[in-house]
Every structure is written in structure tokens, then in C-alpha cells.
Structure 1
Amino acid sequence: MIRAILFDLDDTLYPSNSGVMDQIRLQMMCYLCTRLHLTPEEADELRRDYFLTYGTTMRGLQINHDIDADEYLAFVHDIRLENHLQPNKELDAVLAGIRQQKVVFTNASREHAEAVLAVLGIRSHFDRVVDIRDMDYESKPVATAYGRICELLGLEPAECILVEDNVRNLEPAKKAGMVTVLVAGSAGGQNPAPDIVDHVLSRVEEIGHLLETIGAAGEQTAMRTDRTAG
């Protein structure tokens, strides 16, 4: 039985073309250039390398440069969200109709997550925000992060659905036993393998319809969707 829906935050609960992540990446670049005295080209290369190697740029900076994590998180998330996001009444209504526990599972900070949820007008629907600190900075897609969130929630992986915009973060979830849902509209042309992604949505607002389709209010069915729900 599905007991919890775990939602990624950035580029999942809002469209990837909103500009939010573009601004965060600019803040990352500024941090790297000023704190590590890098050129923009060097900073971008390091950012990408750490992201691919450690799951987040911040984790690479912690391990290799002993940075202050709280300072970094505050710096990179210091953006004006209201310039990019607005209340989403459709998503508000969809979330209101989901009976399972709803949790934000993010590699970002709690402060950033709370701010995003507030601007979108959907904070009241979420029972919990699990952020990078709750993961002891071992973030998605590190395998231990998925066991950690289940431990925090007191659930088995098979009792959870993970909704994500990044196939890379869904693969360990699938291996752990979670049901995996890709928000393809935010996926940037990713081509998900059927052994990694159970269901595909074009927009996160379709999650309510998907849950009805797979019977997630009760026992999960064996049904697999290999096309966009809608």
C-alpha cells in the first residue's frame, strides 16, 4: 500500500523554464568565483564535475574545500522567487485531493523549500520537508539518501512514490523498491528506461490522475504506464 508521495522540489513542483534554477546556478558560479578565486570557465567546470561526482556541487565543496554549508546554502538560494513563480491553484487543488502523506524530498535547504512552497501557495498540503541537512548532506542520487528518508518517515521503500524531474535520481529509488514517477515536462529530453521509471507525467499536476489510475489509494496495482499520463 502506498502511504507517502515524495516530491522533489526544484524543476518538479514548478516548470523547469521558470528561471529559478538558472538564478541558483548563477549564484553558485558567483560563490565559486569569489570564494575559490576561479574564472567563470573554471567555476562552471568545477560545478559540473562536483555535481556529477558527489550528487551536489555543495557536497564536493564540503569534501574538497571544507566550506560552511549553511553559508553556501544561504548564498545560492538568495534569489527573488516571486520574479519567477506564482501561486498554482491547479496544483493546490490536486494536492488537496491526495490522501497519502505528502513530503518534499529535496537536495536544497529547508529555507529554500519553504519559500518555494509559500510562493506556489501549496505549503499547507505537505506534512514534512526533508532537506539536505536531514540527509546528513548525502543527497540524491546517493543510495543511502533513500534509506535515510524511509527511516525518517518510518516507512518501507515499497510504501513510497518518488516524483522527480531527473532520471538520475529515480534510478536508486527504483532499486530501493520505490515506485518512480518522472515529470517529463521538466526532464530536458531525458529518455527514461522502463526498468527505472514506472510512470511518466508531462506535468506534476497530473499526479492526482495517476494515483487514481494505479489505485494508489489502496493496494498498488502491477500496472505500468509507458506513455505520458493525461
Structure 2
Amino acid sequence: MSENPLSTDPALARFADIRSWVFDLDDTLYPSHSGLFGQVSQRILLYLQGFLAISPEAAALVRADYYRRHGTTLRGLIVEHGITPDAFLDYVHDIDHSVLTPDPALVAAIARLPGRRFIFTNGSRSHAERILSRIGFDAPFDDIFDIVRAGFVPKPHPDTYARFLSDNDIDPASAVMFEDLPRNLEVPKSLGMATVLVVPRGTGAVPVEAWEAAANTGHIDHLTDDLGVFLGRIAPRP
């Protein structure tokens, strides 16, 4: 039997006490180089162009503004235009999921984690289920907490984290969150959760927008460009 790195690697010692494993979805459970979320991004821009009757350039500016002030484009459209969320979600998630391939190493590593496992996403449940199916997951997650369950209030709003934790009876002190967006880890860290930032393959830098105060990375405990390998270190094969 291989030696458990949790007992030999001080950097991983915190994970010995983790019993709730919380995963973002897009660009976290699958590599960003797949381009899947790029398809979603393009659909968001097309929606804005059609709904607001604006140019592609203007749509990009609106999206950036809504992301900064509201957390997501959807939230901005709800607050400022009163749109019906379902139609937006159906439109932007009408994409080609075939770019994703099975990831048996990641599936096996997550299956070996002790305790409960969760998806916490600003997307829809149906979008999450299609992605999980393509990656090769059967039913290893205890809950998929999507934007509908969040009342269409996205991460990083503190109320959304509170609702997620309450709905699933999670103790933040024994929980970890995996995310690809640095700002979505600030609240979890403040609540006492461990935090892991998933970055694009082959990079070691924290990706942030200029306005996000790039120097502030104290809320990030760990950084990885390969989630399967990272989890494999935490839950090695027996």
C-alpha cells in the first residue's frame, strides 16, 4: 500500500480533516483548453446583441460591466431588464458538449474522497448534468447546487454561499472549495473553508482582471493546473 501523502506532506495536511468537497463546474471540472466555456461566452454575447439590439463590441462591454457589478451577465439582465432566466439559460447552454472527453483519473480520484461531494455552479443543473455525463461521472455527487437553487443570485455574493452551506448542512471548517475564478474563493476562505484555485494547464499564475486587485491572493490556499493529479495526491489509490 502506498504511503498517504496527507501524513507526509505538510502542504496537504489540512485535507485530512475535509469531509465536504465543493467543486465549481465550468473550467474547473474540465480543462479550460477544451473551449467549452468559450462556447457559452459566445452565446452570451449573441444573446446580448439580440436582446439589446447592440453591436458585438457593445455586447462585450455590457457583459464585462454586468460581470463586474452583478457577478454574472444573467444577474445583470434580471436586475436591469427583468428578463426571464429560463430562456437565457437555455440559450447560452445550447452548445456542443462533444469537445469534452472522459476523464477516468479525475472520476476515480473524486470517488475516493472521504465524505460528501458537491457541485456549486453559476450555471444550470441541466448544463452540469450534461458535462458530468461527458466526463464520465455516474452519480458521485451528493448535490448539484445551481443558479436556480441560488435564486439567481450568483457567486461571489455571500448570501449564495450561506444558502448553499445551509441547504447541505456543511461545516465550513471541514470543507474545501475548488474554483477557477479567484474572486469566488474570497467568501469561502473568510468562512473558514480551505480553497484551491484551478488554473489553465501549463500556467502557474493567478488569472485576474485588472480591477480585481491582482496582488491580493491571500484567500487562495492551493493552486493547481491539473485537478485530477492534485486530487490523486490527496486520495491516492490503495
Q: Give yes or no for TM over 0.5.
A: yes
For residues 159 and 15 of structure 1, what CA distance do their matches in structure 2 show? 26
2:155 paired residue among 114, 123, 140: 140
Aligned residue number for residue 164 of structure 2: 149
Tell whether the 8 Å contact from 1:2 to 1:159 is kept in structure 2 after alignment.
yes
For residues 230 and 204 of structure 2, what CA distance do their matches in structure 1 show? 19
Q: Which structure 1 residue ranges, 4+ long, deviate > 6 Å from structure 2?
A: none
Task: Report the secondary structure of 1:31's partner residue.
Answer: helix
List per-residue Cα deviations over 1:203-222 (Å, max 9, x = no partner).
11034245359xxxxxxxxx
- Say if 2:111 is the partner of 1:74: no
**Deviation, structure 1 residue 29:** 0.9
Task: Report the secondary structure of 2:200's partner residue.
Answer: helix
For residues 217 and 45 of structure 2, what CA distance do their matches in structure 1 show? 35
Aligned residue number for residue 37 of structure 1: 53
Tell whether the 8 Å contact from 2:23 to 2:179 is kept in structure 1 after alignment.
yes
Aligned residue number for residue 95 of structure 1: 110
TM superposition score normalised by structure 2: 0.84
Tell whether the 8 Å contact from 1:87 to 1:119 is kept in structure 2 after alignment.
yes
- Say if 2:176 is the partner of 1:173: no
Comparing 119-128 with 33-42, greater Cα deviation is found at 119-128
**Deviation, structure 1 residue 201:** 1.8
Gaps of 5+ in 2: 1-16, 208-213
- Say if 2:22 is the partner of 1:16: no
Tell whether the 8 Å contact from 2:33 to 2:200 is kept in structure 1 after alignment.
no
Q: Which amino acid aligns with 1:201?
A: T
Tell whether the 8 Å contact from 1:91 to 1:122 is kept in structure 2 after alignment.
no
For residues 210 and 88 of structure 1, what CA distance do their matches in structure 2 show? 16
- Say if 2:220 is the partner of 1:197: yes
- Say if 2:179 is the partner of 1:164: yes
Task: Call closer, same or farther: CA 1:68–1:140 in 2, change over 3 Å.
Answer: same
Aligned residue number for residue 110 of structure 1: 125
List per-residue Cα deviations over 1:184-217 (Å, max 9, x = no partner).
336884267552011222211034245359xxxx
Task: Call closer, same or farther: CA 1:8–1:38 in 2, change over 3 Å.
Answer: same
Tell whether the 8 Å contact from 2:109 to 2:235 is kept in structure 1 after alignment.
no
- Say if 2:78 is the partner of 1:62: yes
**Deviation, structure 1 residue 8:** 0.4
TM superposition score normalised by structure 1: 0.86
Comparing 178-187 with 58-67, greater Cα deviation is found at 178-187
For residues 204 and 45 of structure 2, what CA distance do their matches in structure 1 show? 21
Tell whether the 8 Å contact from 2:27 to 2:37 is kept in structure 1 after alignment.
yes
- Say if 2:75 is the partner of 1:52: no
**Deviation, structure 1 residue 110:** 0.4
For residues 155 and 49 of structure 1, what CA distance do their matches in structure 2 show? 33
Tell whether the 8 Å contact from 2:204 to 2:223 is kept in structure 1 after alignment.
no
Q: Percent same amino acid at aligned positions?
A: 37
Q: Which amino acid aligns with 1:203?
A: D
For residues 7 and 80 of structure 1, what CA distance do their matches in structure 2 show? 22
Task: Report the secondary structure of 1:124's partner residue.
Answer: coil
For residues 77 and 162 of structure 1, what CA distance do their matches in structure 2 show? 24
List per-residue Cα deviations over 1:151-191 (Å, max 9, x = no partner).
01112221211011111101111012111111133688426
Task: Report the secondary structure of 1:99's partner residue.
Answer: coil
Comparing 55-64 with 87-96, greater Cα deviation is found at 87-96
Tell whether the 8 Å contact from 1:11 to 1:21 is kept in structure 2 after alignment.
yes
Comparing 199-208 with 189-198, greater Cα deviation is found at 189-198
For residues 204 and 221 of structure 2, what CA distance do their matches in structure 1 show? 18
- Say if 2:25 is the partner of 1:2: no
